[in-house]
Amino acid sequence: MNASPAIIQLKDVKKSYKLGETDVPALKGINIELKRGEFTAVVGASGSGKSTLLNIVGCIDDPDSGSVLVDGVEVTKLDDDSKSALRNRKIGFIFQSFNLVPVLNVYENVELPLLINPDIPRSEHQDRVSQALKDVAIDHLAKNLPDQLSGGQRQRVAIARALAGSPALVLADEPTANLDSVNSHRIIDLMLELNAKRGVTFLFSTHDEKLMARVSRHIQIADGLIKA
């Protein structure tokens, strides 16, 4: 659809939160370009603006000013419905706290975003969910409920859920923050493998300098600004 290799382009993006009478600046003028197929880590201390940045890239939150292009579309000009439609079609999310639905089993959790993606016919759901569960090596757990799984397994479900719709971009906000170091490395390995073998474009955030060493491209963020 769009010839530009950039999947994400941010220009001078600013965002503050209102806390009572005061404005808390979270992003102070961010410029970023991500190309298709890249695996990029956003690294910064707690409070540096990582979640705000990922939420804006993922069309969950709006900036106060600046330009946000997702796959060539200026999302700051879209109304809420168009923004959700773009989000459902193009973006997969992985969160620190997994955000699985406790009353749905693994299969049903992974199918959930397909149900709101009009591009994906119902007849494809089973194949897509099965393939995504195989890709993260938990296809044998399809019938389990989330509370019957370990943290590492839950994050695999969340990764499968993010991948099932073949999104153009997967955003992972501190996906390893609730995991021990062995499982953190396994999850990074898995994301790197999905990037290398399936060409999934990842933008993931971490405050863990040890994990940063695993990723070839880093963006360092401090106090709402990218460090050169």
Site of interaction with Mg ion (CB under 5 A): 50-51
Residue 224 CB, nearest approach to Mg ion (Å): 13
* Closer residue to Mg ion in complex, CB, 26/70: 26
What residues from 28 to 47 belong to the interface with ligand ADP (CB under 6 A)? 44, 46-47
63 near ligand ADP, rule: CB under 6 A: no
| Residues sharing a CB contact under 8 Å with residue 120, sequence separation 6 or more, in sequence order | 114, 128, 165
Polymer length in residues for the chain: 228
Among candidate residues 138, 170, 164, the one with its CA nearest the CA of residue 151: 138
The C-alpha atoms of residue 78 and residue 59 are separated, in whole angstroms, by 10
Residue 184 CB, nearest approach to ligand ADP (Å): 17
| Residues sharing a CB contact under 8 Å with residue 213, sequence separation 6 or more, in sequence order | none
24 near ligand ADP, rule: CB under 6 A: yes
93 near ligand ADP, rule: CB under 6 A: no
Scored b (16 or more CB within 10 A) or e, 105-135 reads: bbbbbbbbbbeebeebeeeebeebbbebbeb
**How many residues belong to the site for ligand ADP (CB under 6 A)?**
12
DSSP 90: H
φ, ψ at 195 (rounded to 5°): -70, -45
Q: Which of 9, 40, 52, 206 binds ligand ADP (CB under 6 A)?
A: 52
Residue 27 CB, nearest approach to ligand ADP (Å): 8
Tell me which of ligand ADP, Mg ion, none is bound by residue 22, counting a contact when its beta carbon lies within the kind-specific cut-off of 5 to 8 angstroms.
none
23 near ligand ADP, rule: CB under 6 A: no
The C-alpha atoms of residue 117 and residue 112 are separated, in whole angstroms, by 9
Q: How many CB atoms lie within 10 A of CB 207?
A: 16
Q: Which of 9, 40, 48, 176 binds ligand ADP (CB under 6 A)?
A: 48
Q: Which part of the chain contacts ligand ADP (CB under 6 A), choosing from 33-41, 49-57, 90-98, 212-220?
A: 49-57
Give the residues lining the site for ligand ADP (CB under 6 A): 17, 19, 24, 26, 44, 46-52
